[in-house]
Structure 1
Amino acid sequence: MTAPHAADPTTDPARRAEARSRLDRLCARGTRFLGSEYALLAGAMSWVSERNLVSAISNAGGFGVLACGAMEPERLAEEIAATQALTSRPFGVNLITMHPRLDDLVRVCLDAGVSHVVLAGGIPSGPVIRAIKEGGAKAIGFAPALVLAKRLIRLGIDALVIEGSEAGGHVGPVSLTVLAQEILPHIHDVPVFVAGGLGRGDAILSYLELGASGAQLGTRFAASRESIAHERFKKAFLRANARDAVTSVQLDERFPVIPVRGLSNAGTRRFLEHQAETLRRFQAGELTKEAAQLDIEHFWAGSLRRAVIEGDVENGSVMAGQSVGMITSEQPVSEIINELVDQAIDALIRQEERARHG
């Protein structure tokens, strides 16, 4: 006779409640800092992270973040007000540190009562961090290396995001696996959120156990039902594998290309041709070095909007992280968040089973 199969421990309500309590304890610092039910920070994606998606994430217990991008202060004020009309829960605003009107944008956030300001696209200055804190909000910064994490803490940052090269959009050169080992054991002064290539709750759990306070996700939310991205943009995500999300290639070190991760398409292939032609024209004396650099930088102007809003996924910039390969359907935001939490709970129960039975 064969032995009867043991009941699946992940279906036991008491075990799930106990594991959920453990998960809550692991996330406690992150949820306390964000003021949300879950320590899930949304990555800010230009043209995607607007009022509808941000409010949906916050309403589902995560922490939505508006992408200011190139918005002027008046436009940002409108978007914050529109988001506040859709949710009573906290959300943040992502500001680009190189924006020429950064001080004005900070003032808009503070006047509107935004609780958290995320400073991206460079190392923020001490005065900007101070202005945010003195205005009653929390300042969050990105740390692509341990030395920069320590510098930001000295400048007064309230929390850090460490984002690996697996992420979509503008990325650094180091994977999250390495960044987490480099930074998490040494930074205890502020909450640290991990980001880059995260698509499952059990993976997030592994970083929480290493000392992270929570996680930031973008790619999975970009393809959610509440995302205003064009249907063709979302379908490109559903078709893609992890290997399709590649970083932009630089042909010549004299002409730096900011690495951006997105889905390979006709636009990325044409960008290589454009660089080669620009390089030829520079070497032939037809362009100055400055003109050639600008020509390369301007290639993608407007291309993200073309992909996200107009649905031109062949010629536009389809920014996506390597977790895109895990997206198999267009889900509501609440379903995505519940799935991530359930996966983390399942993993905790299985851990306990292994510990019990050796």
Structure 2
Amino acid sequence: MTEDISNSGLQALNSAWARGREFLGTEYAILGGAMSWVSERNLVAAISNAGGFGVIACGAMTPELLDQEIKATKELTKKPFGVNLITMHPDLDKLVEICIQHKVGHVVLAGGLPGKNTIASIKEGGAKSICFTPTLALGKKLIRSGVDALVIEGMEAGGHIGPVATSVLAQEILPNITDVPVFVAGGIGRGEAIANYLKMGAAGCQLGTRFVCATECIAHPDFKRAFIRASARDAVTTVQVDPQFPVIPVRALSNEGAKKFVQTQHEVIAKYRAGELDMETAQLEIEHYWAGALRRAVIDGDVEHGSVMAGQSVGMVKKEQPTAEILEELVAQAASALEASVGRKVDA
């Protein structure tokens, strides 16, 4: 642990996120956001080994591939880590079984409302379930369904996003849900923000963008360079041309691919208006534009035409660093902020 943290600051931090640490079984209540092609064995293990909680992004993996990924991760770390599963995956039940077989302690369910049977299967298998909630009402419904913890993620995050800012979600949900631990995500790049959410009642925080430029991350050097060069304003949401053809909002760095996507929408919609395509075919053509685009950017380094998903905190990513160093910085910043707030109370 860095020597820049005072004992009183560290004590304040450990007290503030005690519930999150206990729930995750980690030194720090910081989860690594599950990013497809990025959150694989190397980064996940590095986050867990450094005291955080790494999370494998299953994405579109088959049960066989997830089995291999979990095995490989267990060879790199003996610390706790989780697996993020997409609820719309056609083999969701099999993926849950794989997690249970490997005694994965925490399963994160994302991309839709999970069924009670899925949550029950996770619990019966001895694991804990974590779900995302975009609203207070849905959060309460998920708790009634048996989930063990919640993540609230604001629109500042990278990738697929909702319409509400993290700060608003935190104010709406944290004071009103205390039954289970609630972790906050979206736009977090420094420890001071973590400290503020902990003071509001969060059990911990989740960060994704901040870890993309970790030394252990396998992302292509050009993908990392794009992050280091970017400012917060460069991380923009997908443009939807016509509400009749909805586009799922995704936050990524603006590039030629994004501009071409707008052009493609116009061209496809024009074909539909001319009677050359039916609505279903036109919608599929628009949706398929980004197929494979994330892999092209992350793995192949095509940052001009691929999808460079990034949160608005990308402006705080300044260099490539070891994962342990990133976590130490965040912890030191959070501890200092909490110590300062305690000091202000004493002075008052």
Q: TM-score, normalised by structure 1?
A: 0.95
Q: Which residue of 1 aligns with 2:263?
A: 273
Q: Which residue of 2 aligns with 1:291?
A: 281
Distance 2:46 2:73 in 1: 10
Deviations 1:83-140 (A, max 9, x none): 0000000100000000000000000000011000000000100000000000000000
- Counterpart mapping for 1:48-197 below 5 A: 48-197=38-187
Out of 239, 245, 255, the residue aligned to residue 235 of structure 2 is: 245
AA of the residue aligned to 2:167? T
The answer to whether residue 220 in structure 2 is matched with residue 230 in structure 1 is: yes
The answer to whether residue 306 in structure 2 is matched with residue 347 in structure 1 is: no
Q: Which residue of 2 aligns with 1:314?
A: 304
Displacement of 1:357: 4.2
Q: Which has the larger radius of gyration?
A: 1
- 1:352 partner SS: helix
- Counterpart mapping for 1:255-266 below 5 A: 255-266=245-256
Distance 1:282 1:153 in 2: 43
Paired residues, what number? 346
The answer to whether residue 197 in structure 2 is matched with residue 207 in structure 1 is: yes
Q: Which residue of 2 aligns with 1:47?
A: 37
* Contact 2:4 2:332 (8 Å CA) reproduced: no
Displacement of 1:12: 8.3
Q: Equivalent pairs: percent with the same residue?
A: 64
Deviations 1:48-99 (A, max 9, x none): 0000000000000000000000000011000000000000001000000000
- 1:261 partner SS: strand
Sort the Cα spacing of 1:282 and 1:12 in 2 relative to 1 into closer, same or farther, 3 A. closer
- 2:108 partner SS: strand
- 2:215 partner SS: coil
- 1:85 partner SS: helix
AA of the residue aligned to 1:80? I
AA of the residue aligned to 1:191? P
Distance 1:195 1:327 in 2: 16
Displacement of 1:223: 1.4
Displacement of 1:19: 1.6
Displacement of 1:350: 2.3
Q: TM-score, normalised by structure 2?
A: 0.98
Gapped runs of 5+ residues in structure 1? 1-10
Sort the Cα spacing of 1:12 and 1:232 in 2 relative to 1 into closer, same or farther, 3 A. closer
Over aligned residues, Cα RMSD in angstroms?
A: 1.0
AA of the residue aligned to 2:322? P
Sort the Cα spacing of 1:306 and 1:12 in 2 relative to 1 into closer, same or farther, 3 A. closer
Distance 1:77 1:353 in 2: 49
Sort the Cα spacing of 1:132 and 1:12 in 2 relative to 1 into closer, same or farther, 3 A. closer
Deviations 1:157-204 (A, max 9, x none): 000000000000000000001000110010010000000000000111
Displacement of 1:22: 1.2
Distance 1:348 1:42 in 2: 22
Out of 299, 317, 321, the residue aligned to residue 327 of structure 1 is: 317
Distance 2:133 2:113 in 1: 8
Distance 1:294 1:265 in 2: 22
- 1:233 partner SS: helix
Gapped runs of 5+ residues in structure 2? none
- 2:26 partner SS: coil
- 2:37 partner SS: coil
Distance 1:31 1:327 in 2: 25
Sort the Cα spacing of 1:189 and 1:356 in 2 relative to 1 into closer, same or farther, 3 A. closer
* Contact 2:12 2:339 (8 Å CA) reproduced: no
Distance 2:83 2:261 in 1: 31
Distance 2:145 2:346 in 1: 46
Displacement of 1:222: 1.2
- Deviating above 6 A after TM superposition, structure 1's stretches of 4 or more consecutive aligned residues are none
* Contact 2:213 2:320 (8 Å CA) reproduced: yes
Deviations 1:13-42 (A, max 9, x none): 7xx101211110110100000001000011
Distance 1:54 1:207 in 2: 24
Distance 1:333 1:198 in 2: 16
